[in-house]
Structure 1
Amino acid sequence: MNIIFLTLVEINSIEDRGIYQDLLRKFRDEGHDITIVTPVERRKGITTNFKEKEGVSILQVKTLNIQKTNIIEKGIGTLAIEFQYLSAIKKYLANKKFDLVLYSTPPITFAKVIEFVKKRDNATSYLLLKDIFPQNAVDMKMLKEGSFIHKQFVKKEKKLYKISDTIGCMSPANVEFVLKHNPEINSNKVEVNPNTIEPAIFNYSFEEKKTIREKYKVPVDKKVFVYGGNLGKPQGLDFLLETILVTKNENAFFLIVGDGTEFLRIKEWFDNNQPKNAKLLQRLPKEDYDKLLVACDIGLIFLDKNFLIPNFPSRLLSYLEMNIPILAATDPNTDIGTIIEENGCGYKILAGNQVEIQNKINQLLSSDLKQMGLNGQKLLLNNYTVDISYNLIMNKLKHV
């Protein structure tokens, strides 16, 4: 089967680890022909190009800067990407026919590209819904509900849902949200298709973990609560910083590892407050990040308390993969915390409730973390491996 994957994620190698690379590698290893259409931002100075690499085809499309840039260029770049992708596909993939168009949000602006391939090739379309936009921008007060631009984005969102033969959502709460706010969608075409990975095995001895901690000057005699990943407004990181200041338990140490729009503000906070119980590290290469993560004790998930959409951060999978328990401070609408608690691999609290998070921190410090980590590993293997996503997608194609 010939598959074209459209994404805003910059994919240079299918052998890298990540939710999209892992899934595409599974399709390749099962004998399917994969073509990845991926952006290369103008700051890289690389023109649009097509290459075959590691058993897949990669079409890099030159775009404006759409990640880690100002909101104006990001907005224009996101709107322009539809036409840039369409032009590149017509030029480089004119003679290649596809059976499946696979794509993820963000963005919601791929409709014309999807329609073109569907009509030309009589292809099936499958949306991996990773982001509910524009509602998330409204929740973060980045977009005014009912404004002209908001209405335009809602039209694009509904068009994307309409032309998608199947919409794969990250969790049951996401399915419920999509159907509630889009009653015109046939419920039969919406299903749970979660973030999934090909789990790696990390067996590190106490001495190896100690060496890793020493390398990054992280205390070896404390329980390390690690927050890893994107540092942006959606994460509601002010509550994490407040938690660091309020936590008096001497056995707790906080480690923040990541990058994003809020990194410099967080660094300034660390410079001003000089917390003795916390450390900030800028983004690390994936291999180094994984090693550091496995040397930590408890994973942290933070989401802004104002979210109406049920976010389901993929960092959950990293923590489960490392066999470490999770503490999730979120809005009341996501079901990620409920899933964590129901499977005995951590605790949830409402973001902003400092009394509650202190209780859970103290509870975790006196809990059997090893057993909770094993519970998390079981949750991962039963629900979040690439085989699950692959089989869901293939099952839909069998019934076309």
Structure 2
Amino acid sequence: MKSNKDIVLLTTKYADDKKDAWLTNELAYSLSEEGHNVSVVVFSWLKNEPVSFTRMIDGIKVVRVKLPAIFYNTGVVGTALKIFLFPFLARHEVQKQVSKCDLLIANTPCVTILGMSGYFRKRYSAKSFLVLWDFFPYYLKDLGAIRNKLFFGFFRYLEQRMYKSFDRIGCMTEGNAQFLFDNFPAVDKGCVEILPLWAKIKKVDPIDKSEIRFKYGLPLDSFIAVYGGAMSIVQELDNILDLAALYSGSDVTFLFIGKGTEKERLEQSVLAHGLNNVKFIDYVPRDEYQHVVQACDVGLISLSKKLTVPSFPSKSLDYFKVSLPVLASLDSVTDFGDILENEIRAGFSVVAGDVITLKNKLDLLITDSELCKVLGGNGRSYYEKYLSVENARSIITSSL
């Protein structure tokens, strides 16, 4: 592969501040470091996200696109309008800001980028790679957001059209790829490959745990189980609160870091049940978030039992990075639990809703510090070997 290619990353999630860098940021930085000319086109999908602009950020040309405020209502009509208006507006901005493109990299949900792969192929003769992280219509159906069969069928049709329009598709796991084949049979299996999640692999320096815990008001001598990430119905975090209730009055603390539509309800539930061993922190800068997680003892993952699509939770990378053992409450269809326990050997998984078994697994971790060390070390080793951004970059750019 020759260097110095023109690459466009099309996404709905990209941090404007390097200290909050996400997966898409890390990929853009890595591509740029390899010598490619990288532009990122970002759709401000949510109302509270930044307005439209074009500027250089950390050596990357970032073109952010936002619709007028009237289109950001939460109703079905507003969402439908956004789906069709964003790609239209993006074409206009791309024409102005992107002169050449050899490779388009986009991530799901595809419904937000309708027709963009075809547009890049026609205008720039660009090849295209889709990073497939979720299956939009099934995700909403599982959570009860789409109940109408006609709506579901329509969105599934749009998704399948978009999948077929990409030259190559990267799925997180074998289970993820099999779901694609089973539910979108028109997709060519030959264009699909496994693309693990990624991160910038960095050395993790030791920290003063007591200092970090004191700074964030955490008990200095408690065993702390941390959940970091979005708090929505997707995670079904009541399972974690049910677990916390079984440790009420003990020196085991449950820490939640982040925001989301369920956060206020979860906080109210904690108050109603008098759970003094649960603490919430709204926001921690990305670089400092690592230190807070590092000061804890086990990383928690939770997914709704209603989900029917296999996934690989991105927050697991934060735990693997700092050698934290993982305890996961998962839906019954995902292959992440098997990967976690038998391939990575970095923790335990339990089917969501089985709080007694979840407690038994946590008890093992609480009482066996050597086990925690081994599991955490396994997670870090797997992270370094398979989850580097350089690995992802190599897979994606092999198209060129």
* Correspondence 1:108 to 2:111: yes
Partners of 1:13 and 1:290 lie apart in 2 by: 16
Partners of 1:194 and 1:101 lie apart in 2 by: 19
Letter of the structure 2 residue corresponding to residue 191 of structure 1: E
Aligned partner of 1:345 in structure 2 is 346
> In 2 relative to 1, CA 136–47 (structure 1 residues): closer, same or farther, beyond 3 Å?
closer
Aligned partner of 1:27 in structure 2 is 31
Unaligned 5+ residue runs, structure 2?
A: none
* Correspondence 1:261 to 2:265: no
> In 2 relative to 1, CA 181–226 (structure 1 residues): closer, same or farther, beyond 3 Å?
same
Q: Is 1:38–1:61's contact at 8 Å kept on the other side of the alignment?
A: yes
* Correspondence 1:171 to 2:173: yes
Compare 272-281 and 223-232 and name the one that shifted more: 272-281
Aligned partner of 1:86 in structure 2 is 91
Q: Is 2:224–2:253's contact at 8 Å kept on the other side of the alignment?
A: yes
Deviations along 1:68-119, one digit per CA (max 9) or x if unpaired, are 97354445434422222122212333xx121001000124231322211111
Deviations along 1:228-285, one digit per CA (max 9) or x if unpaired, are 0000110011211211112358242111111011111112222323312221111222
- How far off is 1:121 after superposition? 1.3
Compare 26-35 and 216-225 and name the one that shifted more: 216-225
> In 2 relative to 1, CA 43–329 (structure 1 residues): closer, same or farther, beyond 3 Å?
closer
> In 2 relative to 1, CA 374–354 (structure 1 residues): closer, same or farther, beyond 3 Å?
same
Aligned partner of 2:8 in structure 1 is 4
* Correspondence 1:138 to 2:141: yes
Aligned partner of 1:214 in structure 2 is 214
Task: Determine helix, strand or coil for the equivalent of 2:111.
Answer: coil
> In 2 relative to 1, CA 75–201 (structure 1 residues): closer, same or farther, beyond 3 Å?
farther
Partners of 1:117 and 1:128 lie apart in 2 by: 16
Deviations along 1:122-145, one digit per CA (max 9) or x if unpaired, are 110100011111101001111025
Unaligned 5+ residue runs, structure 1?
A: none
Which aligned pairs between 1:90-239 and structure 2 lie closer than 5 A? 90-93=95-98, 96-144=99-147, 146=149, 148-205=150-207, 208-239=208-239
Compare 5-14 and 314-323 and name the one that shifted more: 5-14
* Correspondence 1:317 to 2:317: yes
Deviations along 1:5-32, one digit per CA (max 9) or x if unpaired, are 1111143246753211111111000000
Partners of 2:392 and 2:71 lie apart in 1 by: 27
Partners of 2:49 and 2:365 lie apart in 1 by: 48
Letter of the structure 1 residue corresponding to residue 334 of structure 2: T
Task: Determine helix, strand or coil for the equivalent of 1:247.
Answer: coil
Q: Normalized against structure 1, the TM-score is what? A: 0.92
Letter of the structure 1 residue corresponding to residue 333 of structure 2: N
Q: Normalized against structure 2, the TM-score is what? A: 0.92
Q: Is 2:248–2:276's contact at 8 Å kept on the other side of the alignment?
A: no
- How far off is 1:63 after superposition? 2.6
Q: Is 1:42–1:64's contact at 8 Å kept on the other side of the alignment?
A: no
Partners of 1:14 and 1:67 lie apart in 2 by: 29
- How far off is 1:364 after superposition? 1.2
Q: Is 1:130–1:169's contact at 8 Å kept on the other side of the alignment?
A: yes
Task: Determine helix, strand or coil for the equivalent of 2:234.
Answer: helix
Compare 254-263 and 46-55 and name the one that shifted more: 46-55
> In 2 relative to 1, CA 245–44 (structure 1 residues): closer, same or farther, beyond 3 Å?
closer
Paired residues in the alignment total 392
Letter of the structure 2 residue corresponding to residue 172 of structure 1: E
Please give the root-mean-square deviation of Cα atoms over the aligned residues, in Å: 2.2
